[in-house]
Amino acid sequence: MTAPLIEFRAVARVYGEGETEVRALDGVDLRIGKGEFVAVMGPSGSGKSTAMNIIGCLDRPSGGEYLFDGVAVQDLSPDARALLRRHYLGFVFQGFNLLPRTTALENVELPLIYKGVPGAERKARALAALAKVGLQGRERHDPSQLSGGQQQRVAIARALASSPMVILADEPTGNLDSHRSHEILTLLQELNRTEGITIVMVTHEADIAAYASRLVVFTDGRITRDEPALRQSEAAQ
Ligand SMILES: Nc1ncnc2c1ncn2[C@@H]1O[C@H](COP(=O)(O)OP(=O)(O)OP(=O)(O)O)[C@@H](O)[C@H]1O
Ligand SMILES: [Mg+2]
């Protein structure tokens, strides 16, 4: 087997110390190959977001190793980690905010600027991504003029437009109605299948997890289940 794209080797993450110490991740081993679509589930506080932050190079393990495409992320400089994020990762995180006082269109274009995509193509791709998430007519609004669900859709469009190697989504449909949630998941599934984008998605909903091909369950900072997920398309047959 070739090196996995994402690899945790006995990853631990401890917050605080002494009496307030919280062992958010407690020796997690995980390997995710290129092109996988993984759903992450588990109770509140089980370490899902902590793991996503580490995968996204937003946080570092307190113990163990995280390798991205075979490279030990903790050995990289902050600049190199920022480059890795910018070029390879797309985030749909609730806390990962859009730029304020910046239109939806500009927010979606931003990662494409960093990637060096020329102006006209950049705009076309950003507009298409915004249309895909149902935000036509809202392109010139800035985040303060959009609802929470709409802001989340801008974040999804931003991830879609830049065709990253990996999309990390932490409860991407948390603020969306059921119809819109399924539309977004169909889109993610399409990106995974046609462009081979690796997707890691945290969700609390089994019918959302069913779009993934693999289900990983966290309990108390450890992985307690790791199994194939029943594809939504198969579930419907
Ligand atoms: N910055 C922090 N400082 C201290 N403790 C933290 C911090 N972030 C998370 N924790 C703790 O680490 C544990 C894991 O948190 P995490 O956010 O990973 O859970 P989660 O599985 O994403 O939960 P949820 O489903 O509620 O989002 C929790 O006990 C949480 O209180
Ligand atoms: Mg969380």
Residues flanking ligand 1, CB < 6 Å: 15-16, 22, 24, 42, 44-50
Please check whether residue 49 lies inside any domain of the structure. Answer: yes
CB burial of residue 32 (10 Å; 0-12, 13-18, 19+): buried
Determine the Cα–Cα distance for residues 219 and 237; give it in Å rounded to an integer.
Answer: 31
- Minimum CA distance residue for ligand 1 atom 30: 45
Q: What token pair was written down for 8?
A: 């945790």
Please check whether residue 43 lies inside any domain of the structure. Answer: yes
Please check whether residue 179 lies inside any domain of the structure. Answer: yes
Count: domains in the chain: 1
Please check whether residue 189 lies inside any domain of the structure. Answer: yes
Any idea which of 27-31, 90-94, 133-137, 191-195 has the lowest mean pLDDT?
Answer: 90-94
Cα–ligand 2 centroid distance for 44 (angstroms): 7
| Model pTM score | 0.89
Which residues make up the environment of ion ligand 2, defined by Cβ < 5 Å? 49
Q: Which residues lie closer than 8 Å to 113 by C-beta, 6 or more apart?
A: 122
Q: What is the pLDDT of residues 70-126, one digit of tens each?
A: 999 989 999 999 989 888 999 887 656 799 999 999 999 998 998 889 999 999 999
Please check whether residue 72 lies inside any domain of the structure. Answer: yes
Across 160-183, b (16+ Cβ under 10 Å) vs e yields bbbbbbbbbbbbbbbbbeeebbbb
At residue 180, the pLDDT reads: 79
Please check whether residue 1 lies inside any domain of the structure. Answer: no
Determine the Cα–Cα distance for residues 160 and 155; give it in Å rounded to an integer.
Answer: 9
pLDDT at 237 over 50: no
Domain CATH number, residue 158:
3.40.50.300
Q: Which residues lie closer than 8 Å to 129 by C-beta, 6 or more apart?
A: 108, 157, 158, 160, 161
Best probe residue, ligand 1, of 41, 46, 55 (max atoms within 8 Å of C-beta): 46
Q: What is the pLDDT of residues 168-183, one digit of tens each?
A: 999 988 777 888 788 8
Cα–ligand 2 centroid distance for 229 (angstroms): 21
Best probe residue, ligand 1, of 14, 44, 50, 217 (max atoms within 8 Å of C-beta): 50
Q: Which residues span the domain enclosing 189? A: 6-235
Cα–ligand 2 centroid distance for 211 (angstroms): 19
Please check whether residue 24 lies inside any domain of the structure. Answer: yes
Strand bridging mode 37-41 / 214-219: parallel
pLDDT at 3 over 80: no
